[in-house]
């Protein structure tokens, strides 16, 4: 013999399918609502993640260490000693808490070809350390990447090359300032061209070996900055605190502090997602409540008969809630499956090159990669399930409050 709980679940299941059309419409609404939550969130997350990744890979990293005053006046006068002069900092940089790190020299400069002159930022790098840390190694599409820290070739962005009206293999001249405020000038041969999604990056930076830059600028062993990556760009507080302790008086900042625009975008996106989920559920809740109220109204006499036969009001309430939960679970299953089937084919990206030029200011590329995060999927499912059950309490309560005699005679209270 069935237990009361099993019996109530069986009745709820059968009640759900007594009106197939209404139940299927509600299930479809739940599935499409959940799909809309996950789908739009994946696109928005993908957009923001690409913007953040572009910012981090464009020489930002997760954390940067500078000499005091460098960010206000990025000149050669504000330089740091290398990490090898600070054993505590070097030990931290080589620890598992840091995935990649590199030292750089970064100074304003002027580049001159036989045709034109352009203002740029000269960046001296260690080519091996930059791999995996920044965009440089992966973006060289013509010529050769720098071999080592002593490489005297220069990497130039394609757009800058076009403006200078020159080509790989030709010589250009770079001018900057040395520590004595004298002109530091040197000729370089163009060794490679790099291409990026943003033209501003191609026109703003040129790269050479860090030792070559030191020799040109007469700055000894100093560096302009130390950039590093941690395991997660969101959770940097603990790592940043360790870096600040090891770096001493140096100015240590996370990418959130260096790029306040992108930091605010991250906060805004989290809020937008919650609001979006709330709007979708609000639309679903009206349909769910209406469906259950109609189901209860149609079974008024039946509910009154069950109460007259001795079924407690609590069991009536439980039965209607179970009906709601079954509907929600089936809808959630269908919605998750639909989301997976629609996102899987575009996991390699959506081509938005037609409007990419207009979105360049935001750091977006011409391909939008959806980003499905388990936390977003769980949040969407939890909101629909928990708030769906809460919305079902009113119809269930109305059903449990019926007076048997009045219910049997179909008098709605």
Q: What does 189-250 look like in DSSP terms, one character per residue? A: EEEEEE--S-HHHHHHEEEEEHHHHHHHHT-TT-BSEEEEE-S-SS--HHHHHHHHHHHTTS
Q: How far is CA 229 from the centre of its chain?
A: 16
pTM score, two decimals? 0.72
pLDDT digits 0-9 by tens, 225-273: 999 999 888 888 899 999 999 988 889 999 888 888 777 777 787 788 8
For residue 197, give every residue at least 6 positions away whose Cβ sits within 8 Å of its Cβ, in sequence order, or none: 54, 356, 360, 364, 365, 366
Half-sphere exposure (Cβ direction) of 99: Cα atoms closer than 13 Å: 13
User: pLDDT at position 1, please?
Assistant: 39
Quick: pLDDT tens for 102-139.
999 999 999 998 889 999 999 999 999 998 899 998 89
Contact 76, 63 (CB under 8 A): no
Query: How far is residue 46's CA from residue 54's CA, in Å, rounded to a whole number?
Result: 12
CA distance 182 to 111: 17
Instruction: List b or e across 333-363, with b for residues whose CB sees 16 or more CB atoms inside 10 angstroms.
Output: ebbbebbeeebeeeeeeeeeeeebeebeeeb
8-state DSSP, 114: S
The Cα-based distances of 3 to 6, 7, 8, 10, 303 in angstroms read: 5, 6, 9, 11, 19
Q: Residue 365, SS3?
A: coil
The residues, ordered by sequence, that sit 6+ positions from 218 with a Cβ below 8 Å of its Cβ are: 178, 179, 180, 184
Residue 15: strand, helix, or coil: helix
Triad 152, 229, 108: Cα angle to 5°: 40
Q: Which two structure tokens, joined as six digits, stand for 285?
A: 């809740």
* 15's tokens: 């009640």
What is the reported pLDDT for 387?
Answer: 78
Q: Which residue stretches of the chain have pLDDT < 50?
A: 1, 405, 407, 411-413
Sort residue 76 into left (φ over 0), alpha (ψ -120 to 50) or beta.
alpha
Q: What pLDDT, on the 0 to 100 scale, is given for residue 120?
A: 94
What is the structure's pLDDT at 154?
Answer: 94
Structure tokens belonging to residue 370: 């959806």
Name the token pair of 373.
Answer: 């995060």
Instruction: List C-alpha distances in Å: 340 to 87, 95, 214, 283, 344.
Output: 49, 38, 52, 23, 6
Which helix (H) or strand (E) segment holds residue 187: the answer is: strand 183-194
Q: Which two tokens stand for residue 76?
A: 């050669």
DSSP, collapsed to helix, strand or coil, labels residue 168 as coil
């Amino acid at each position: 013999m069935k237990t009361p709980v099993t019996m109530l679940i069986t009745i709820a299941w059968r009640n759900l399918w007594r009106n197939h059309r209404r139940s299927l419409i509600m299930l479809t609404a739940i599935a499409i609502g959940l799909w809309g939550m996950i789908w739009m969130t994946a696109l928005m997350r993908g957009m923001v993640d690409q913007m953040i990744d572009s910012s981090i890979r464009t020489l930002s990293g997760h954390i940067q260490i500078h000499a005091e005053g460098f960010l206000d006046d990025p000149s050669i006068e504000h330089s740091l000693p290398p990490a090898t002069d600070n054993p505590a900092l070097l030990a931290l940089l080589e620890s598992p808490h840091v995935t990649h790190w590199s030292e750089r020299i970064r100074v304003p400069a002027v580049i001159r070809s036989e045709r034109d002159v352009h203002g740029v930022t000269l960046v001296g790098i260690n080519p091996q350390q930059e791999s995996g840390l920044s965009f440089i190694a992966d973006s060289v599409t013509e010529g050769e990447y720098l071999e080592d820290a002593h490489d005297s070739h220069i990497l130039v962005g394609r757009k800058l090359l076009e403006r200078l009206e020159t080509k790989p293999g030709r010589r250009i001249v770079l001018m900057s300032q040395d520590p004595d405020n004298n002109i530091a000038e040197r000729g370089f041969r163009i060794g490679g061209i790099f291409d990026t999604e943003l033209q501003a990056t191609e026109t703003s930076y040129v790269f050479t070996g860090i030792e070559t830059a030191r020799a040109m600028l007469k700055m000894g062993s100093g560096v302009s900055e130390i950039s590093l990556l941690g395991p997660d760009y969101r959770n940097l507080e603990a790592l940043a605190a360790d870096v600040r302790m090891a770096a001493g008086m140096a100015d240590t900042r996370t990418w959130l502090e260096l790029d306040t625009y992108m930091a605010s975008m991250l906060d805004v996106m989290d809020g937008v997602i919650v609001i979006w989920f709330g709007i979708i559920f609000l639309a679903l809740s009206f349909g769910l409540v209406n469906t259950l109220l109609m189901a209860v109204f149609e079974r008024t006499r039946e509910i009154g008969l069950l109460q007259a036969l001795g079924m407690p009001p609590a069991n009536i309430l439980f039965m209607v809630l179970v009906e709601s939960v079954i509907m929600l679970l089936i809808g959630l299953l269908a919605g998750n499956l639909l989301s997976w089937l629609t996102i899987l084919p575009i996991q390699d990206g959506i081509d938005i090159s037609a409007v990419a030029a207009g979105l360049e200011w935001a750091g977006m590329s011409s391909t939008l990669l959806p980003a499905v995060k388990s936390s977003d999927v769980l949040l969407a499912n939890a909101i629909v399930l928990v708030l769906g059950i809460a919305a079902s309490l009113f119809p269930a309560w109305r059903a449990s409050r019926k007076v048997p005699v009045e219910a049997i005679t179909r008098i709605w209270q």
